[in-house]
Chains A and B, each alone.
Chain A
Amino acid sequence: MDAPLVAGPETVQRAAAARRRRPVWLTGSFVLGLILLFWPLVAALTIGLVVDPRGLRIGAAPVGSAPSALHPFGSDNAGRDLLTLLAVGTPPTYVIGFVAGFLATAFGTIIGLISGYARGATDTVLRGIIDVTLGIPALAVAIIVTALLGSISTGQLALIIAVLIWAFPARQIRSQVLSLREQQYVFISRLSNQGSLSIVFRELLPNLLPFVMASLVASISFAILLAVGLQLLSLGSSDPTLGLVLQLAITGGALSRGMWWWWLPPALVLISIFIGLFLLSTAVDRLANPRLREKADDG
């Protein structure tokens, strides 16, 4: 004769309230990912405020010296102060990654939206462009272009990379739009005389935000990867960057000469950035993948 529920109403309410306070994507791994991704930038910017730019010059420090009080990160084989080099070279990597990532995602999302919703001839054309662009080997083309162009700024490099990678978000968004447009609320919107543009941006896009986020993280990762790859080949911008430092270290024989202070810090920073991006992408994946989200919701 007792009610079938074993838990009392208060327990249920408290559990529900706890769930409401914390958004599903704000998990431990998300926070950790953010930290791992951004601490090098924060550190570099702070140190960059106090560091002496003359440390970048050749001979600013004793050649190939290990870390000391005066030069906490030591110096490279040309006597450049590595702390200054790292502080100055880290932010551009972020700039390239984020600018290229945002540009590629924004452009790709718009193309994906139009292509997926319009269907017909427009879709055929746009999809063709997307497929062709996807087929282009990004690194190979990047190498050729940057080699031909010689010295370019970080901004220009970001643009080149964006042009090479926008097709990935475009394809992702397009396939989501193809299924979303069959939802009945799109039908109701058309019945309500809502224009196509309004439907695409006001009805579909909000529901695509998880996928846009996921694409953004992926694009940023890919952009940084491309940029560092180019820098390791001494291509890309001639401003000091992490990749450049690493490249100099490798060609300068830092490994064989045991000059760990030269190659280890940039490598560690890069590893931290990529692990951070990876953790963010798995956390954001929960937004995009409803089944993962359900597991999180179930107590």
Chain B
Amino acid sequence: MTADARTGMHAQGSAGDHTPDDLVLSVENLAVSYGSAAGRRRAVDDLTFGVRRAETYGLVGESGSGKSSTAFAILGLIKPPGRIDEGRIRLEGMDLVGLKPDEWRPIRWRRVSLVPQGAMNALNPVMRVGEQIGDAIEAHDGRQDPAALRERIVGLLDSVGLPDRVVRAYPHELSGGMKQRACIAMAIALEPALIIADEPTSALDVVVQRAVAETLMEVKRNLGASVILIGHDLALQAQLVDRLGVMYRGRLVETGPSRELFHRPQHPYTELLIRSVPSIRGGDDDSLTGAARRARELAAAADELARTGIPPLRLVGPDHLVALP
């Protein structure tokens, strides 16, 4: 086994093999910027991380941290005025940066797909749900025999816990949780190796959120796929992810196994972020004053980071990297 010093991940490939076998996704030195009349602004800067087969990787950060831009870059959805300045994105060994639109067709939705934030916007309100799923399948997998297609759609809906009648239903007839599950069904229709879930449960009630999250994990298990879960709800991340990456202003601050980050965070920003998450289990200094104080400390730490900048990642433990000098 070789340990890739950059990603700190132990690979199963032979020595000298640049892409470890069990890495479904490998992002190296990714840089994404957006331009405007005021100049170009880096949304993602020198980002390096990997996602193994059948694992759930969480990408967290406050708004503006660049996590959504990372997702779009992986899906090839960065359009002008945005562009990928540098870096490589390898999905199952294939480099995604610089692919032309028709080269994306066999990849998008078939090898990597998206469960978007806010199913309300993702689903076409004037089309029946079954038709939309059918369209997505045919757009990326060619024309299908109608009977076989219908069976396939019903099967997909069943795998996310939705009844038959959803096939003929319009989005507005479904609840928020059902809509989100329909989006999951669309994302797994072509059995991708990697599913990117961008805040898939925001705006959902607590119990529905759990149901949707569990559905996502179940389909992931059945497919043997990997999931990148993007969000800012650290409590949800703790429930679902195997490894976690914390981003701040386009760079990774710390990444590693979720247990490590939650119990033994190495970077002060990570530590403050974790401690500022309210929990009904209570904890040290549960009071509002304590919470307000922690919020101020977190803001101060963020300002400090903005001032000093973020150094490159350094290995501090198995799979655990931190951006400290």
Residues of A within 8 A of B (CB): 1-8, 11-12, 15-16, 298-299
User: A299 to chain B: which residues have CB within 8 Å?
Assistant: 36-38
B33, B42, B45 — most chain A CB neighbours (10 Å) = B42
A22 to chain B: closest CB distance in Å? 13
Count of chain A to chain B residue pairs whose CB atoms are closer than 8 Å in the complex: 37
User: A11 to chain B: which residues have CB within 8 Å?
Assistant: 38-39
CA A10 – CA B306 in complex, angstroms?
A: 19
CA A298 – CA B35 in complex, angstroms?
A: 10
CA A3 – CA B38 in complex, angstroms?
A: 15
User: A7 to chain B: which residues have CB within 8 Å?
Assistant: 38-41
CA A27 – CA B311 in complex, angstroms?
A: 46
Supply 20 further A-B pairs (C-beta < 8 A) apart from A2-B309, A7-B40, A298-B37.
Answer: A1-B308, A1-B309, A3-B306, A3-B309, A5-B39, A5-B41, A5-B42, A6-B39, A6-B41, A6-B42, A7-B39, A7-B41, A11-B38, A11-B39, A12-B39, A16-B38, A298-B36, A299-B36, A299-B37, A299-B38
User: A2 to chain B: which residues have CB within 8 Å?
Assistant: 309
User: B41 to chain A: which residues have CB within 8 Å?
Assistant: 4-7
A9 to chain B: closest CB distance in Å? 10
**CB <8 Å contact, B249 and A15:** no
Within 36-90 of B, Cβ neighbours of A (below 8 Å) are at 36-42, 45
Interface size on B, residues (CB 8 A): 16
User: A298 to chain B: which residues have CB within 8 Å?
Assistant: 36-37
CA A13 – CA B41 in complex, angstroms?
A: 15
CA A7 – CA B41 in complex, angstroms?
A: 7
Can you give 27 contacting A-B residue pairs, CB < 8 Å? A1-B308, A1-B309, A1-B310, A1-B311, A2-B309, A3-B306, A4-B42, A4-B250, A5-B39, A5-B42, A6-B33, A6-B39, A6-B41, A7-B38, A7-B39, A7-B41, A8-B39, A11-B38, A12-B38, A12-B39, A15-B37, A15-B38, A298-B36, A298-B37, A299-B36, A299-B37, A299-B38
A16 to chain B: closest CB distance in Å? 8
CA A298 – CA B34 in complex, angstroms?
A: 12
Interface residues of chain B: helix, strand, loop or mixed (majority): mixed
**CB <8 Å contact, B45 and A4:** yes
**Neighbour of B40 across the interface among A3, A6, A16, CB < 8 A:** A6
B66 to chain A: closest CB distance in Å? 9
Instruction: Return the chain A residue nearest B325 by Cβ.
Output: A1
CA A5 – CA B38 in complex, angstroms?
A: 10
CA A15 – CA B45 in complex, angstroms?
A: 25
CA A51 – CA B179 in complex, angstroms?
A: 73
CA A73 – CA B109 in complex, angstroms?
A: 69
CA A299 – CA B37 in complex, angstroms?
A: 4
Instruction: Return the chain B residue nearest A14 by Cβ.
Output: B38
A4, A5, A8, A12 — most chain B CB neighbours (10 Å) = A4
CA A1 – CA B42 in complex, angstroms?
A: 13
CA A15 – CA B309 in complex, angstroms?
A: 26
B37, B40, B310 — most chain A CB neighbours (10 Å) = B37
Within 295-313 of B, Cβ neighbours of A (below 8 Å) are at 306, 308-311
**CB <8 Å contact, B39 and A4:** no
CA A16 – CA B37 in complex, angstroms?
A: 9
CA A20 – CA B40 in complex, angstroms?
A: 21
CA A5 – CA B45 in complex, angstroms?
A: 11
User: A1 to chain B: which residues have CB within 8 Å?
Assistant: 308-311
CA A5 – CA B35 in complex, angstroms?
A: 11
B185 to chain A: closest CB distance in Å? 31
User: B45 to chain A: which residues have CB within 8 Å?
Assistant: 4
CA A6 – CA B308 in complex, angstroms?
A: 16
Instruction: Return the chain B residue nearest A19 by Cβ.
Output: B37
Within 104-160 of B, Cβ neighbours of A (below 8 Å) are at none
CA A211 – CA B261 in complex, angstroms?
A: 53
User: A5 to chain B: which residues have CB within 8 Å?
Assistant: 39, 41-42
A11 to chain B: closest CB distance in Å? 5
CA A214 – CA B242 in complex, angstroms?
A: 55
CA A11 – CA B59 in complex, angstroms?
A: 33
Within 1-39 of B, Cβ neighbours of A (below 8 Å) are at 33, 36-39
User: B40 to chain A: which residues have CB within 8 Å?
Assistant: 6-7
CA A12 – CA B41 in complex, angstroms?
A: 11
Q: Mark B227-267, 1 if CB is under 8 A from A, else 0.
A: 00000000000000000000001100000000000000000
CA A7 – CA B33 in complex, angstroms?
A: 12
User: B39 to chain A: which residues have CB within 8 Å?
Assistant: 5-8, 11-12
User: B249 to chain A: which residues have CB within 8 Å?
Assistant: 4
A13 to chain B: closest CB distance in Å? 9
A3 to chain B: closest CB distance in Å? 7
Instruction: Return the chain A residue nearest B42 by Cβ.
Output: A4
CA A51 – CA B58 in complex, angstroms?
A: 81
B250 to chain A: closest CB distance in Å? 6
CA A8 – CA B41 in complex, angstroms?
A: 10
User: A8 to chain B: which residues have CB within 8 Å?
Assistant: 39
